[in-house]
Structure formats: C-alpha cells, structure tokens
Amino acid sequence: MISKEEFLLKAYKLGIIKFGNFTLKSGIQSPFYVDLRPIASDPELLKELSQQLLNLLKKSCYDLICGVPYAALPMATAMSLDSGTPLIIKRKESKGYGTKKMLEGIFKSGQTCVLVEDVITSGKSLIETIEEVEKEGLRIKDIVVVLDREQGGVSLLKEKGYNVYNLFTIEEVVDLLYKNNLLSQEELQNIKNFLKSTPIVTAQVKSSRLTYEEKAALQSHPAAKKILEIAIKKKSNLIASLDVSTTQEVLQLAETIGDTIVAVKLHTDIIKDFSEEYVIKLKSIANKKNFLLFEDRKFGDIGNTQQMQFEGGLYKISDWADLITSHVIAGEDSLKIFDSKVGIITIAEMSSSATLTDENYKKRAIEISENISNVIGCVAQSKLPSSLLLFTPGVNLNSIKDKKGQNFNTPEKVFDKNHTDFIIVGRGIYKSTDPKKEALKYQKSGWEAYLKNISI
C-alpha cells in the first residue's frame, strides 16, 4: 500500500480537485471543486483507494459493504472484491416495475453493513441512505468516507451514534498539495479563508417519510398513483370502512362522506341485498365524489381458487374493485392471478390482539409484496419500506380496543410511530350519530398528522 500522500498526488493528476470559482449545489461560491469519479477509470488507483479505505476499517466488524449511489459504488465494489465481503447495492430510486426493492443483493435482517461515501459535506445523502438500509433491518455502525469537506456532516453523523472514518479532510488535501508545489501560497490562503468563513451547513435532514408527491413519483401502478393523487387533491388520507349490512346504508354513507375520503373499503360478503344495480350506483358515487372502491376480501387460498373468487360468484369483484386485499399465506404465485389493473394490498400485519403476523411473517410478506408488480402496499401496524404504501386499520379517536380483539390507535399515533400513508376507520364513522361530522374530524386529524410527520 502506498502512502496517503502518494495516493493523493496520483489522484490529483486525474483531475479530482479543481481550483477556481465554482457554484455549489447549495448556491455557495467555492474556490475548489471535488469530483472523485475519475478514480474509477484508473483500476490501479481504485484498488489502492479500496485498500486505504479497508485499512481505516481494520478494527471494525461487518458483514456487508454498501456504497452511497453513485460515486461510491465502484469504491464499494473494489472493497468488496479486495476483502471478500459481500456487496449490496442501494438504489437511488425504485425501479417501478418488477421487484420494487430499494436494496439489491443478498442480505439478512440483523447483519451489519458498512457504508462507503466519496465526499461528505452536510451528511444529507448519507442520512437518507442510512434510513433506507436500516429500514431493511440491517445495522450500520461504521461509515467510511474518502473526503470530508468539513461542513458539518461528520459531526452530525457522530452525534447520531455512527463512527465516521475519513481518509482525508479538505484541509489536509490542500496542505499536501501546497507542500508539493501544486498550490500557490495565495491559493492556499484563499481556500483556508473560505473554509473558515463558510458557515457549517446543518443538514436539512428530511423527514424519514416521503411525501405523497414523492410516493406518487415512485409508484408505477395506476391505482397507487390514483389514490395518492386523490389524497393530495382532497387533503385526505382517510379510508372509510363501511362495514354495514345493506346496500342502502353503503350508498347513503358513501354519498354523505364521499368528499372527505380517498376510498370506501367494503366487505361485500356482509351485505344482505347485493345486486348489480348497487354496484352501478356505488361506482357512480365514487366517480362523482372522486374516491376508489376497495374490497377487503382478504383472499387467502391457492391461486386457482382465488381467481374464481375474484372474477366469479355473485360479486364479480374484478369488475368493479380498484383495490383488493390479499393474504400472502399461500405464497407468491397465489398473488399472480389478479388482473394487473387491480391494486393489491397484502396483509403483512394485523391489528388484533395475539395475531400470528409476527416480525418474521411481516418480513416475508413484505418480500413477497415487493416481488409482485401490482402489489401497491400492505396492511400493517408498523413501518414499511418506502416502495410500499402503508394502510392502517384499527384507528379510532374514542376507543383503545373493542371486546373482540381489535386494538385502536389515534391517527396521530399511526403517523408518528409508523409513518402510515392511509388510515382506515370503520366504526368510528359509520356507527356515529353524525357520520359526516365524524368523517371530517378523521380527515382533519389524519391530514394534520401527515403534515406534522413530513415536517419533522
């Protein structure tokens, strides 16, 4: 391994640092500009960098290496090859088709992952990557960085409890270049003055949840896009679960509360007088009031049976439902029978006491969901990867449980704790003496909880 100084001089020749007058992304005028990407085009030097970085980590224990996209990806790959440590890849954005995973590669929840970054300034992109990686159940202790621009990022990450190892600080780089006659006294002074006078940028650490607009951009399924668009337009994340037994009650409630909701959730099999005429009327209210029809059938059989239940029988769910729920208990293939137009919401976790949907079940349910292109999200009671929409039932402002195993939370709690996307309210609305007033109350409190959630 060559010395750090030798490494820097070789890298300098590739043009990784330029001096002059540059406008940075933040709008700040900077007397230097750093871009470490050219190193990847010099295999010998990339190998050298990988050894330097691995050397910084010699006391650390880790199972995986992950580079922050894009500049650090070749560095992380070289480190993986050098050390024999498996590499995982963090996507910058979800593919929007096929699997919607944000992390690619083979890993298990509970493993420890080292993050590799080229340049750290405010630490913002690292914090975003950390969140995505931790969401998948991986642990991050150590972060290795080639260059610290000394703009506050390292201390921010240290405050958050991470070890940050950097190969160079910018001050060290300019001192070494000066020593080697690659910078004049004046240039050196100029840069040092700049470093002293530039305020430390505190990373505007974005809320770890995405906004509905950001989620809409990530989603490719029309039903997912539609429900998010309705949410934005109506300022509502409320789904009313109309668990009533006559078509007249459903239609009346849909008409009364239609303006406040993004979808009506139905259990069509509890309705006594189902008819095609009812479907026509309900669809027309849904069109007029701009909400989706969500049949909570919770399919849970082998694919062949599910298909008959979805397309046939009295209810012909496939003819009218925009969204349906399905268990994943029968495995991935059982979900492939649904028409690609319907948005599937899988059951990853239930709200009832002593449910069997434990952590492991949820994890498997999420894996399956991410592999099916028309699964748009899950019903769950805890956070999901941001590629899936989270639908949370068991929401009530006045009760904490019922006598049949249901557990309730407030809208505020499910946004705060779980970063939910949609609240599902049943009895809180349809059992009330004034459903319209109650629906408005849930719409308002759900929306306020969302706004609070995105502003943290």
**Footprint on residues 214-243 left by ligand 5IU (CB under 6 A):** 241, 243
How many amino acids of this chain bind ligand 5IU (CB under 6 A)? 17
Q: Any binding-site annotation on 121? A: yes
Q: Any binding-site annotation on 427? A: yes
Among 153, 377, 426, 446, binds ligand 5IU (CB under 6 A): 426
Q: Any binding-site annotation on 95? A: yes
Part in contact with ligand 5IU (CB under 6 A); list of ranges 83-91, 129-137, 281-289, 346-354: 346-354
Distance of CA 194 to the CA centre of its chain: 37
The binding track of 401-420 with respect to ligand 5IU, each residue x by CB under 6 A or -, is: -----x--------------
Measured distance CA(444)–CA(452) in Å, rounded: 12
Q: Any binding-site annotation on 149? A: yes
Q: Does 375 bind ligand 5IU (CB under 6 A)?
A: no
Which of 35, 42, 63, 301 does the annotation list as catalytic?
A: 301
- The CB density around residue 144, as the number of other CB atoms within 10 Å, is 25
In the complex, minimum distance from the CB of residue 241 to ligand 5IU, in angstroms, rounded to a whole number: 4
Which of 148, 296, 322, 421 does the annotation list as catalytic?
A: 296
296 classed as catalytic: yes
Among 36, 271, 282, 424, binds ligand 5IU (CB under 6 A): 424
Q: Any binding-site annotation on 364? A: no
Q: Does 428 bind ligand 5IU (CB under 6 A)?
A: yes
> 128 or 243: whose CB is closer to ligand 5IU?
243
Among 258, 394, 411, 446, binds ligand 5IU (CB under 6 A): 394
Q: Any binding-site annotation on 35? A: no
Binding-site annotation, residues for 5-phospho-alpha-D-ribose 1-diphosphate = 25, 91-92, 95, 117-125
Provide the binding-site residues for ligand 5IU, judged by CB under 6 A. Answer: 241, 243, 267, 296, 347, 350-351, 379, 393-394, 396, 406, 424-428
Residues catalogued as catalytic: 296, 298, 301
